[in-house]
Amino acid sequence: MRVRRTAAALFLATAAAVSGTAVPAGAADHQAESRHRQPLFPAGATTTADGRTVLTDTAGRALHLRGFNVDKYGETTEADLRSIAAHGFTLIRVAVSWTRLEPARGHYDQAELAKLHHVLDWAERYGLLAVVDFHQDVYGPKFGGGDRGIPVWATRDDDLPFVPDPDDWFAGYFQPAVQAAFRHLYDDPDLRRWQTDFYTRIARELRGHRSLLGYDLFNEPFGPVDGDPSDPAVLVRASAELESGRLAAMYRRLIAAVREADSRSWLFVEPTVLVGQGVPTRLPAFTDPRPGAARLGYAPHFYDTSVEAGRDWDPSNGFVENYTAAVTAYPQANRLPVLVGEWGPPNSRTPGNTELVKRQVAAMSGFAGGWTMWYWCQGSGGYCVLGPDGRPAPGEEPAFGPYAAAVAGLPVTESDHAGAYTLTFTASGTGGWTELVLPGTAYPNGARVSVSGARASVVQIEQPHGDRAGLARVLLPIVRPGARITLTLTHR
């Protein structure tokens, strides 16, 4: 059997060992095929000395998941997921639409369900995990959202006006009809019940799928704004009231709805988009009714409003620093792993936005256990992370940089400067493999790895080839728990 060799099919053992014991003949292909069949699922989480909560596998290794959003428009192909994996990524966020899945109350579109299963099957085939994102933009199709979002049959707008702004789609949230629709969704018992039924039905449909990491429970939540939305104080107050009141109640319902059918998956809650403006969330703590340890996480988005409006990023505006300060307190207080569900500028090619991508990748290495960039597509502009030639678009290169996919310990720092990637972590004390993804775009001639703080038992390197990522695997012996280890990648 010809084994697909992709770096995102993590933990495959290939090539001869640089030091220690060589990989036995045939073992590499066996491990590659095994990993190819089953993505590595985070079985738990642990909290580091600096207060971060990180996802961990069954061996206690800290996992870092990276990838892209897909399927908002229902166009994702198997080739897309194969390419995401080949570039060294391990995660996709799959946008699904209530409108398309349940076009009439109680009637589920079997073709749409089959399409969702295909995406998860492809993800499993290529070693990817998937977060299913219950997506909405400006509520739903009643307000120009195409066939995405909340169905017309679940939309009550009290016959209030809706006047779209072709130059500012987000302004639609403040239209009276949209405000009424959200208020009814949060408040009306029958709409709450219908939404709950939908979530339970989808969880029952997908439960047990080996590629399913979990669910992002509600994309970019919004709600009623009583007052002038152009007044920042009004927006801050409305966001706090929503997060601590109606939205919190919705999340409690949706957590319970998914748990009726699925006790395995991770469930992620989102704050409102004001977190992007440095406004800390007012979400309360949530309880997970599953047996055993909770599997709840936090999934904020990482967007600068001025950049979204079309301006080039100004590095002096404090956006990254303000966002980082605003986004970290809630997950630290509640011991939640952070997965940034969306981030990235609409045009990475401008000087400021190129710098923004670099700064965001560096910042997320410090506070997030994973991220999915917006958006995996190929084109000459917009959010597409690939250019017309299928290679990373200009300015997107930092998102395609090296990273630690699995760490036999707890990460301390991670940096990538001037062609030298460095990972520092504290050893778990039990030894084990640490795995570094080597993107072909960053290491066109291959990479070397050096270890300090402990003597590596085995170092294996599958070198990158073309755009396809490679993998460096370092086996550390049992050392004193908490011992500080540093791994460094350099160009060959």
Long-range contacts of 58-62 (CB under 8 A, 24+ apart): 59/408, 59/430, 59/432, 60/428, 60/430, 60/432, 61/406, 61/407, 61/408, 61/409, 61/428, 61/432, 61/433, 61/434, 62/369, 62/406, 62/407, 62/409, 62/410, 62/411, 62/425
Q: Which fold would CATH assign to domain 64-400?
A: TIM Barrel (3.20.20)
Mean pLDDT check: name the lowest of 61-75, 152-166, 358-372, 417-431. 417-431
Confidence band (pLDDT; 50, 70, 90) for 27?
very low
Residue-wise pLDDT for 414-447, tens only, equals 999 877 999 999 998 888 899 999 999 899 999 9
pLDDT score at 456: 84
Long-range contacts of 326-329 (CB under 8 A, 24+ apart): 326/275, 326/278, 326/279, 326/280, 326/281, 327/275, 327/280, 327/300, 327/302, 327/367, 328/51, 328/367, 329/280
| pLDDT exceeds cutoff 80 at 137 | yes
Residue 300 neighbours by CB under 8 Å, 6+ apart: 270, 271, 275, 276, 281, 327, 338, 340, 341
Q: How many CB atoms lie within 10 A of CB 16?
A: 9
DSSP notation for 353-377: HHHHHHHHHHHHHHH-SEEEES---
Q: How many CB atoms lie within 10 A of CB 152?
A: 13
Residue-wise pLDDT for 253-303, tens only, equals 999 999 999 999 999 999 999 999 999 999 999 999 999 999 999 999 999
Angle between helices 176-187 and 246-259 (to 10 degrees): 50
Among 65, 38, 41, which residue's Cα sits nearest to residue 124?
Answer: 38
Q: How far apart are CA 102 and CA 108, in angstroms?
A: 5
Could you give the percent of the chain with pLDDT greater than 70? 92
pLDDT score at 35: 39
280 burial (CB, 10 Å; 0-12 / 13-18 / 19+) is middle
By the 8 A CB rule, do 159 and 144 touch? no
pLDDT score at 271: 98
Among 56, 6, 58, 57, which residue's Cα sits nearest to residue 32?
Answer: 6
| pLDDT exceeds cutoff 90 at 208 | yes
pLDDT score at 38: 63
Confidence band (pLDDT; 50, 70, 90) for 321?
very high
Q: In the predicted model, what is the mean pLDDT of residues 159-180? A: 94
pLDDT score at 102: 98
Residue-wise pLDDT for 391-407, tens only, equals 999 999 999 999 999 99
In 109-157, which ranges are E strands?
129-134
Domain coordinates of the chain in residue numbers? 1-37+402-492, 64-400
Q: What are phi and psi of 302, to 5 degrees?
A: -130, 75
| pLDDT exceeds cutoff 70 at 45 | yes
pLDDT score at 452: 93
User: Structure pTM?
Assistant: 0.92
Residue-wise pLDDT for 173-194, tens only, equals 999 999 999 999 999 999 999 9
Confidence band (pLDDT; 50, 70, 90) for 39?
confident
| pLDDT exceeds cutoff 90 at 23 | no
